[in-house]
Amino acid sequence: MQMQLILLGTQGCHLCEEAEAQLEPLGLAYDYIDIMDDEKLLERFEIDIPVILKRSMDTEEILCWPFDTHSIQQWLHGK
C-alpha cells in the first residue's frame, strides 16, 4: 500500500487554510477531512488542528501544527 496523506482541519480555521497553503507548493496528493464530521477525530484532534496524517499499511505518523513546507518535506523523508 502506498503512503496516504490526510490533512485534518475544519471550516473557518485560519491555521488549517495556512496548512493547505504549505502543502500546495509540494504538489502532493492529499485528502482533507473535516474533524467536525467524525466524532472520533474531533475527540482526538480538536485542539491540535491542523494535523497531517501519514498512513501506510501498518503505520500512522502525525505532524502537528506548526509546520511549514520545509518541515513537511523533512518529516516525509524521515529526517
Helix, strand and coil in the chain, % to nearest 5: 40, 25, 35
Question: Which residue segment(s) compose the domain that 20 sits in?
Answer: 4-76
Q: How many domains does the chain have?
A: 1
Residue 2: per-residue pLDDT: 83
| Strand, coil or helix: 11 | coil
Q: Is the pTM of this model over 0.85?
A: yes
Write out pLDDT tens, residues 11-44.
999 999 999 999 999 999 999 999 999 999 999 9
Contact (Cβ atoms closer than 8 angstroms) between residue 53 and residue 2: no
> Residue 44 maps to which CATH number?
3.40.30.10
At 73, list the grid cell: 518535506
The answer on pLDDT for 1 being more than 70 is no
